[in-house]
Structure 1
Amino acid sequence: MGLCLLTSTLNTFQHLTIRREQHVLWIGLAVKNSAHNLLTPEVLAELHQAYTVAQTLEVRALILHSTRPQVFCAGLDLSLLENNLAPQALTDFLKSGQAFCEQLQSSTMVSLAMIEGECAGIGLSLALACHYCVGSLNPHTHFSFPEVSQGIHPVFGGMSRTLQRMGVTAALDFLSQSRVLSTEEAVKHKLIDAGAAPEQINLLSLRYVAGQPAKATASFSSTLLENLFVRLLLNTQRQRKLAKIQDIQHYPAGSALLNLWQLHGGSLAKLQAVEINTFKRLVDTSSTQNLLRLARLKAQLKAFAPLNADTYSSVHIIGAGQIGREIAAWCSLSGLTVSIQESNPENLSSALERIHAIFTTYFHKDANKLAAALERIHIDHEGSGIALADIVIDATPDHLSSKQELLARLEENARPDALLAISSSTLPLERLAAVLLKPNRLIGLHFLYPLTQCELVEVVHLGEKTHKRIIEQACALVRQLNKYPLPIQSTPGLLVNRILLTYILQGIRLHQQHVPTVTIDKAGRDFGMPFGPLEWADILGLDYCRQLGETLSKTSSLLVPELLVDMVRAGKLGRKNGTGFYRYRHGHRLKPERARWDGNITALQDKLVNQMSEEAALCLEQGIIENPDLLDAALVFGAGFPAFRGGPLQYARSSRK
């Protein structure tokens, strides 16, 4: 009778697979039309139904897993929150999710989440509601609650269960900072129970549901932190710390999460009673709507890289200048072996200093990881790594003839299957590719600067002339480096820097009109940009800004300010040589002189930002990019346009309302 019931029920599921093995029911997430197994009301309804099947069949255990090896459940389908779900429907969905998780936790039937691949947001809330969680020790498996970065907070009881498992201090860090943990880290911090190699994960899961080992209890210090008075003190400290790094007015989710904990501690019942209301209040704000939209767009950018793409292990970089050294450091941080070829001893020396400084920033508390990252960096004076590397990147200065000669040699010496890439935004890809026997092999990888802060990489191609497989391979590399790829056809200045340059040049024009540097830059930062326009000019290099401006002026109405031309002629190049709009010593900016200005700051900000919005609209009109949403995402993730404002086009639309 049980087999007949299971067979007849199987045909009713659109998003799940179900199989029974002895006394265990395996429920597999296989969400239709969603490569990332995003949760929707329809999927949740099927999970309720599958649980009912498990009860009817009287199995002893159920194992929740994914049929997709690189993703367990990447969270909620965020489009539901972008005003696409009626308020009551959203409330019903959230209550249904709470009820399902409570069923799992309180059932006498043992439940286990077997996690392979990305487990995020509501997906992690579901997993934590199971009696046990085990994770695969593969590089694709990681755990996170990205909700705070999306302007919301965890639901389905995810917050309270994380507090109960990890303890207060570790849990609040994990939740409020949207941290990402590997399986090893998740086990170490007690978020999950155990990890196993991919080939052993099934066996480990069966052992857990059969043996039902005891779970760890909260430490004394964690119990102490649940005291109401202690919670008040700790929350006050954390709120102050949060306010120093985040504008709580525009990014309120982290503060809201801390307040929830202060008021209700780790009590599942108390938190679930209020989490829906606070969640809905956050969703209704304009800043959260912008953040949700950008989170959805981030998923679109990720999708440019095939899920089953090969991974790379080695890269050869020619040129250890400002961008080459940053690419080298980031590749090593991502686990790739890096060979650096640089003929200028001074460049090489400063590059190694910079690489060491970057590694120290990331691994100052872990000497072993620091040493491992340094061991992956190799100096290759002769260029022997060209013939061995999976990827060869030309990061030499932008001189057309020199690059053409170099690329011709690289084509001869690199492996036929190696990815051949350049990093340039001022030289046309088509002219560089023209010297190759197979021009469809060349790809542009434009890493935005500062590379350690910019999440986007423009993947530059020649349209139909570039092999589709090459574009996909380049996007896969970008994802392996934990950044977001944006394929874009070759055009002068590309996309992000073209729009960013209008912000920089407008700042220079305003300075020509005797507005102080510190006033201009503070106006930009107060708007939400990571740097003021003159700060950014110094960071990128005034010579680069001039070169890019002159390149764009040949095909557009853009004019390069005389002040910029004069400063470059005078040898003022910005941070890299110690003098630009500011003065620097050992790469650090010296304190500028105080300046007074009694003008209109709002009008100043409008002049800076409206220029970006107008240039963005022009790029759209010229077909440089067809999707306005992805243009906004590119400027947020590639140039630091304030996320809560949604991007230059979205900001322009909202300003007109």
Structure 2
Amino acid sequence: MTERITRALVRDVQLEDLGTLALITLENGAGPTKPITFGPEGMAELRTALERLSARAEAGEIVAVGVTGKQFHFAAGADLHEAAQLTTPEAARQIAEMGHETYAILADLPVPTFAYIGGVALGGGLELALACDYRTVSSAVRAVGLPEVFLGLIPGWGGTYHLPRLIGMENALQVIITNPLRNNTQLKAAQVGELGIADAVLDSADFLAESLRFTASVLRGDITPERREATPVDEAKTMLGAARQQVDARLHGAAPAAYRALDLLEVSATSERAESFEAENVALAELICSPQFAAGVYAFDLTSRRAKNPAGAPEADLARPVRSIGVAGAGLMASQLALLFARRMQVPVIMRDLDAERTERGVGYVSAELDTLVAKGRIGEAEANRIRSLVSGTTDLADLAGADLVIEAVFEELGVKQQVFAELEQVIRPDAVLATNTSALSITDMAAPLAHPERVVGLHFFNPVAQMPLVEVIRTERTDDATYATAFAVAKACRKSAIAVADAPGFVVNRLLVRLLGEVLGSLEEGTDVTVADRALWPMGLPMGPFQLLQLVGPAVAGHVLDTLRDQLGDRYPASPGLQQMIADGAPFVIFEGRPSAASPVDPQIAQYFGSRPEVGGQDEAGLLSRVQQALADEVRMMLDEQVVAEKEDIDLGMILGAGWPFHLGGITPYLQREGALA
């Protein structure tokens, strides 16, 4: 892949009676929605422009320099694909040095410098803004941050030096470490202002003009932006020590980038710019050539490209319009779906359950969630009221008769779902779509008794619905193209990423997660120590351990899915008497209260429930890790042989978006290949 060169276009702007501002506009000629990135040629363009402006500033021709980008993009930093093609630390170091040298020219200009952040500013793009003296941000901007750790890198063009000096070490840790590890959380404009990254949050309608007025006010002395005091060295080291403990508790050493970023922040707390930049050069040269970065780029491509164009999806124009939705059920999952449909699709949604108390509880849940969104500033009161008006409840099945799509979200029992579908078929229109949110059951069996099984499709949303970005769209052999296309259209309208999945037990994500949990539970039944079982998977760097996952999804739910998959796929999904007894007793797997952040939250008392097959013999950490890796590889091979998905990339995408599989692992199949478990 060759670099799309970013140009640094310079024009002079008169600042009333103050003199001339040289405005650098970054442009890559690729339209307003294509991110601006820097490869070697683009960085050279910027450097040349800055060197010319430095000479003009020395000569007194200009009084300030401003940097801005396109309508929706300020700059997204280094070209990841260019960086991924670098094969030696020497070549990687050259990229790091080029960025530092160029940004240093900007930082050292003898006139005030301003960054006007009118769109996305990520990675090296934000670092470009940090090299300026002042920053404004458009109120419409929703993506500002330093996501490098998420991708297996570190901020390598001055971010670890400039940011803590601007906003303090605690806030810098949030932006550089915490947010990337929290599924690459990015900052919105208001947060950019609150943290002190930007000096002013300005209206998006006339952003550049407002930014120029702000610049003039600063130059006149009418505005003096506040600056935080630098964090004292001792306090910074204490904060870094606490952050290192938190990273350990999450990653257990599995991903080097976060640790290198902490090291760099410690250097910045005690060193000047040259030493800090050199430390970034060394770290970036190592990490660009690491397997973690290659994995991160692969995962980035999956989530930014394949997720937008699902493999196997039918032509979008085959989809039927969905102007109203019925939800069979009013429990927690049904209520979450109702809120999602009303908020994202802006269509009327009717929840139907057996009695008024249940339906009122479901509608009440929607209203309470909207109150929470208003309180957090996520939506306004007017929008909340509009969404409320779209959601209603009923006990009368006939009230779903006019819905274009009805999705069931009732108890995960095949007979119950068959009964619900049979009742629905008697009242809904002939062209209405029937969808199921089942997480593991056979949709073919669910639809078999119906007169029109061709209009049945799976739409498996993940819990919690508002946060999880994945939908598995499941097609049976009888599902027609219009129904299938409608399901993909609904997922897209809900702003979810979809993968096309065949009607196979557990589909993709649950099949793999439950296989993983089954191996751990099976190992406990064979005598493996609980602490060993908890620690064994730490090298994988998963967002949570197996016992935390069991508690999150609910032991009863996990046990039900495990039993279902064992019935359908065989004894490789083992029985666990210990799990069943814990479900009966209501015993928790983990206890968080009173434990250090880096300590395992697993309750050691759960050991009393397991050990039903001690004659087999337990395993050590390495043995259990290998066992889980081999089991996952085995399941991946079978899913590909069974054509559950079109290609392995869909398994990887499903695990990243549906199970929080870490970016630094690059997807489950590359990870298993690197570990030698999968050919």
* Superposition TM-score tier, normalisation by shorter sequence: 0.7 to 0.9
Give 1:126's match in structure 2, choosing from 121, 125, 128: 128
Structure 1 residue 447 corresponds to structure 2 residue 445: no
The corresponding residue for 1:600 is: 619
Which runs of structure 2 are paired with 1:398-437 in the superposition (5 Å)? 399-403=417-421, 405-406=423-424, 422-425=436-439, 426-428=441-443
The corresponding residue for 1:29 is: 27
The corresponding residue for 1:97 is: 99
Higher mean alpha-carbon deviation, 249-258 vs 174-183, is at 249-258
Give 1:610's match in structure 2, choosing from 611, 616, 630: 630
8 Å CA contact 2:534, 2:546 repeated in 1: yes
Q: Which amino acid aligns with 2:27?
A: L
- Alignment partners' CA distance in 1, 2:366 and 2:108: 51
8 Å CA contact 1:115, 1:141 repeated in 2: no
Structure 1 residue 290 corresponds to structure 2 residue 299: no
Counterparts in 2 of 1:470 and 1:430: CA distance versus 1, 3 Å: farther
The corresponding residue for 1:381 is: 393
Task: State TM-score, norm by structure 1.
Answer: 0.74
8 Å CA contact 1:66, 1:116 repeated in 2: yes
The corresponding residue for 1:546 is: 563
Structure 1 residue 649 corresponds to structure 2 residue 658: no
8 Å CA contact 2:328, 2:408 repeated in 1: yes
8 Å CA contact 1:512, 1:563 repeated in 2: no
The corresponding residue for 2:283 is: 278
Give 2:333's match in structure 1, choosing from 291, 311, 323: 323
Give 2:264's match in structure 1, choosing from 256, 260, 263: 260
The corresponding residue for 1:201 is: 207
- Alignment partners' CA distance in 2, 1:82 and 1:342: 52
Matched position secondary structure for 2:471: strand
Counterparts in 2 of 1:367 and 1:615: CA distance versus 1, 3 Å: closer
- Alignment partners' CA distance in 2, 1:351 and 1:93: 55
Matched position secondary structure for 2:507: coil
Higher mean alpha-carbon deviation, 420-429 vs 228-237, is at 420-429
Give 1:88's match in structure 2, choosing from 84, 87, 90: 90
- Alignment partners' CA distance in 2, 1:330 and 1:466: 22
Matched position secondary structure for 2:675: helix
Structure 1 residue 493 corresponds to structure 2 residue 503: no
- Alignment partners' CA distance in 1, 2:215 and 2:445: 59
Which runs of structure 2 are paired with 1:49-68 in the superposition (5 Å)? 49-51=48-50, 63-67=66-70
Structure 1 residue 532 corresponds to structure 2 residue 546: yes
Give the total of aligned pairs. Answer: 611
Which runs of structure 2 are paired with 1:166-315 in the superposition (5 Å)? 166-178=167-179, 179-213=185-219, 214-219=223-228, 222-223=229-230, 225=231, 227-247=232-252, 249-265=253-269, 267-304=272-309
8 Å CA contact 1:504, 1:537 repeated in 2: no
- Alignment partners' CA distance in 2, 1:257 and 1:562: 42
The corresponding residue for 1:153 is: 154
Q: Which amino acid aligns with 1:237?
A: A
Q: Which amino acid aligns with 1:256?
A: R
Matched position secondary structure for 1:290: helix
Matched position secondary structure for 1:134: strand
Q: Which amino acid aligns with 1:161?
A: H
Task: State TM-score, norm by structure 2.
Answer: 0.72
Structure 1 unaligned spans of 5+: 1-11, 306-311
Matched position secondary structure for 2:136: strand
Q: Deviations over 1:57-90 (max 9, x none)?
A: 9676665444353x44334333344453443322
Matched position secondary structure for 1:181: coil
Counterparts in 2 of 1:72 and 1:218: CA distance versus 1, 3 Å: closer
Measured after TM superposition, the shift of residue 229 of structure 1 is: 3.5
Q: Deviations over 1:160-198 (max 9, x none)?
A: 322233233222222221242110111122111222333
The corresponding residue for 2:144 is: 143
- Alignment partners' CA distance in 1, 2:265 and 2:323: 43
Q: Deviations over 1:348-393 (max 9, x none)?
A: 6886898899999x989x6777997997668622389979999975
Measured after TM superposition, the shift of residue 451 of structure 1 is: 5.3
8 Å CA contact 2:403, 2:428 repeated in 1: no
Measured after TM superposition, the shift of residue 201 of structure 1 is: 1.2
Q: Which structure exhibits the higher relative contact order, with contacts defined as CA atoms closer than 8 Å and separated by 6 or more residues?
A: 2
Matched position secondary structure for 1:323: helix
Counterparts in 2 of 1:183 and 1:396: CA distance versus 1, 3 Å: same
Measured after TM superposition, the shift of residue 270 of structure 1 is: 3.2
8 Å CA contact 1:15, 1:32 repeated in 2: no
Measured after TM superposition, the shift of residue 133 of structure 1 is: 2.8
Q: Deviations over 1:521-567 (max 9, x none)?
A: 654567545342766672634233333444x44xxxx4476846x99
8 Å CA contact 1:250, 1:287 repeated in 2: no
Measured after TM superposition, the shift of residue 277 of structure 1 is: 0.7
Counterparts in 2 of 1:96 and 1:256: CA distance versus 1, 3 Å: same
- Alignment partners' CA distance in 1, 2:531 and 2:410: 33
Measured after TM superposition, the shift of residue 154 of structure 1 is: 0.9
Q: Deviations over 1:14-60 (max 9, x none)?
A: 54484747555452433659933343223323333454676799676
Q: Which amino acid aligns with 2:162?
A: R
The corresponding residue for 1:76 is: 78
Structure 1 residue 502 corresponds to structure 2 residue 523: no
- Alignment partners' CA distance in 2, 1:313 and 1:97: 51
- Alignment partners' CA distance in 2, 1:237 and 1:494: 40
Measured after TM superposition, the shift of residue 634 of structure 1 is: 2.5
Counterparts in 2 of 1:84 and 1:527: CA distance versus 1, 3 Å: closer
Q: Deviations over 1:189-246 (max 9, x none)?
A: 2111222333221321332344445553433xx33x2x43443333333323433333
Q: Deviations over 1:605-632 (max 9, x none)?
A: 3223311111112223444334434423
- Alignment partners' CA distance in 1, 2:428 and 2:70: 42
Q: Which amino acid aligns with 1:324?
A: A
CA RMSD of aligned residues (A): 5.1
Higher mean alpha-carbon deviation, 107-116 vs 97-106, is at 107-116
Q: Which amino acid aligns with 2:618?
A: G
The corresponding residue for 2:19 is: none
- Alignment partners' CA distance in 1, 2:248 and 2:131: 32
Q: Deviations over 1:94-128 (max 9, x none)?
A: 22212222222333566543334432111211222
Counterparts in 2 of 1:516 and 1:109: CA distance versus 1, 3 Å: closer
Give 1:465's match in structure 2, choosing from 481, 492, 513: 481
Structure 1 residue 456 corresponds to structure 2 residue 470: yes
- Alignment partners' CA distance in 1, 2:238 and 2:649: 42
8 Å CA contact 2:92, 2:289 repeated in 1: no
Measured after TM superposition, the shift of residue 320 of structure 1 is: 3.5
Q: Which amino acid aligns with 1:244?
A: A
8 Å CA contact 2:338, 2:351 repeated in 1: no
Higher mean alpha-carbon deviation, 600-609 vs 350-359, is at 350-359
Q: Which amino acid aligns with 2:546?
A: G
Q: Which amino acid aligns with 1:189?
A: L
- Alignment partners' CA distance in 2, 1:464 and 1:59: 66
